[in-house]
Amino acid sequence: MRPIEYFISAHAGRKGKADTALRTAESGYLTRKLCDASQEVIIREHDCGTEKYVTFTKQETELKGDNFYTVISGRVLTEDVVDKKKNVILGKDDLLDKENVQLLQDMGVEEVKVRTPLVCYSISGICQKCYGTDLSTRRIVEVGVPVGIIAAQSIGEPSTQLTLNTFHEGGVAK
We report the CATH number of the domain holding residue 130 as 3.90.105.10
- Alpha carbon 5 to its chain's center: 44
Q: Residues of the chain with pLDDT > 70: what percent?
A: 94
On whether both 79 and 10 belong to a single domain, the answer is no
Q: How many domains does the chain divide into?
A: 2
On whether both 82 and 119 belong to a single domain, the answer is yes
On whether both 31 and 97 belong to a single domain, the answer is no
- Expressed as residue numbers, the domain containing 83 is 43-143
Lowest average pLDDT, out of 19-28, 36-45, 85-94, goes to 19-28
On whether both 115 and 70 belong to a single domain, the answer is yes
The DSSP secondary structure of 83-144, one letter per residue, reads -TT--EEE-TT-B--HHHHHHHHHHT--EEEE--GGG---SSSEEHHHH-EETTTTEEPPTT
This prediction has a pTM of: 0.76
Measured between alpha carbons, how far is 174 from 172 in angstroms, rounded to an integer?
A: 6
> Is the residue at 151 inside a domain?
no
Lowest average pLDDT, out of 12-21, 45-54, 80-89, goes to 12-21
What is the average pLDDT score of the chain? Answer: 89
Contact 8, 165 (CB under 8 A): no
> Is the residue at 174 inside a domain?
no
On whether both 134 and 123 belong to a single domain, the answer is yes
> Is the residue at 7 inside a domain?
yes
On whether both 24 and 50 belong to a single domain, the answer is no
* Pairing status of strand 126-127 against strand 43-45: parallel
On whether both 79 and 123 belong to a single domain, the answer is yes
The pLDDT value recorded for residue 49 is 93
The pLDDT value recorded for residue 160 is 80
| Amino acid letter, residue 45 | E
> Is the residue at 58 inside a domain?
yes
On whether both 67 and 23 belong to a single domain, the answer is no
Whether 170 shows a pLDDT value over 90: the answer reads: no
